[in-house]
Amino acid sequence: MLRTRDEGVSARGGVTTVQSAEITLPQAELEGLWSPEYLERLARTYWLWIGRTSLGLLRVLYTATSREVVVLRRPLVLLRFFAPEYDVSASGGTVTWRINRGLLVAPAGRGEGYLRMDVEWRSEDPATGEVTLLVTSQVANFYPAIRGRGWFSRIGRIIYRFTQLKIHVLVTNAFFRSLANLDLAPSVVGSLRGSTPGVPDADEFEAVRRLRAEREAGERGPDRERGEGAAVRSGGAAA
């Protein structure tokens, strides 16, 4: 079951679009693979899907601090994201790419908004031995450059809705459908990979929590760290 919620394209401010899908899988099969590593692989599979559906015109370039969606190669960078941030538990996980800049991003939207992928165990059916996952893709507070400014924004909003936004919805829905076979690509970086790939391990989840704490402490700095409580966002340079 696929759902799309579009909160509209205003003349000013960011655009938010949420897509979700319920995917039913054998519980035994899912339990045998769910670990932080597989959230990382889900993210990698999403980027590969972008390249596949664009017939190779779009590529994703990896650096230690960014992910770039380019047309064939630099300098045609359509979207540049910061390195992904992870939040993982035994019942689901979230990976967030905060938007940096790019040709598709209006100047006012640089450093604003994010792309987020979320996986949540919703229900289990003991009778059939199946579990239902809710997979959600959210683009929040995105400022499309194509919208333009001033008098052109009225036309630009229409162009964005029926081109860039329509393509994003179609590609993401097709990606959701492809997840039913659990064919996830290996991660490029592999920073969340456990000692036994594919096997849930409490040590792996603890490693993610430790990675989150280290990142948050670095962002706050020593002075702020003494005066603030623990943060809630996790990070990692992967996928």
Residue 236 has pLDDT above 50, yes or no: no
Confidence band (pLDDT; 50, 70, 90) for 219?
Answer: low
Instruction: Summarize pLDDT for 155-186 with one digit per residue, the tens.
Output: 988 898 889 888 888 888 888 888 766 666 65
Q: How long a stretch of residues is the chain?
A: 239
Contact in structure between 138 and 18 (CB atoms under 8 Å): yes
Would you list the domain boundaries of the chain?
Answer: 2-227
Instruction: Summarize pLDDT for 126-162 with one digit per residue, the tens.
Output: 777 777 888 899 999 999 999 888 888 889 888 988 8
Instruction: Summarize pLDDT for 50-108 with one digit per residue, the tens.
Output: 888 888 889 888 888 888 999 988 889 999 999 888 887 767 788 899 999 999 999 98
For residue 176, what pLDDT is reported? 84
Residue 233 has pLDDT above 50, yes or no: no
- Average the pLDDT over 98-127 and give the result: 87
Q: Which of 40-44, 101-105, 235-239 has the lowest mean pLDDT?
A: 235-239
